[in-house]
Amino acid sequence: METFGGIDILINNASAINLVGTIEQSMKKYDLMHQINTRGTFLVSQYCLPHLLKAKNPQILNLSPPLNMNPKWFSNHLAYTMAKYGMSMCVLGMAEEFKENGVAVNALWPRTTIATAAVQNLLGGDQATKKSRSVEIMSDSAYLILTSNSRENTGNFYIVDFILFRTSRCSRSMA
């Protein structure tokens, strides 16, 4: 606040991951995922909102999945999915709560794996990283969301390649 004078954008990207089944899930890792993913998203948003309410185009972007109650998303890693869905529920609730104040709250989620440290270190090493998409697809998508009008774009659950396709398609049709 002292350096920049305000907060215009909050990106809730911090996340803990442990993709194991219910029996294998330790309570220590369960608690960590819920403290970082769900509680952390809520807490950081709560602290930033008084400042965001003063911004010209305030935006919160959570890196969390669309809320989909299909059992396939829960079956192999219930604890992790619950923690990430907690972040998504923050999108749903905060978007509605702060809509009249002009604060946009949206979610962004990749359709496929992204070449990050988590993929490299936890989800398959070099092989998984080679099959993953570059991080630029996330940053390009985030840029499109965060530069949109906060009063007209809130409560959405974006999938990265769909937002990029929609925007490039719109740009082509306008050319």
The per-residue b/e assignment along 94-119, b for 16 or more CB within 10 angstroms, e otherwise, is bbeebeeebbbbbbbbbeeebbeeeb
| Separation between Cα atoms, residue 106 and residue 82, nearest integer Å | 18
Sheet (strand 9-12) strand order = 9-12, 59-62, 104-109, 157-159
Q: Which residues carry out catalysis? A: 80
Helices (H), the chain: 27-33, 40-52, 78-98, 117-122, 125-131, 136-146, 160-174
Residue 16 bridge partners (DSSP): none
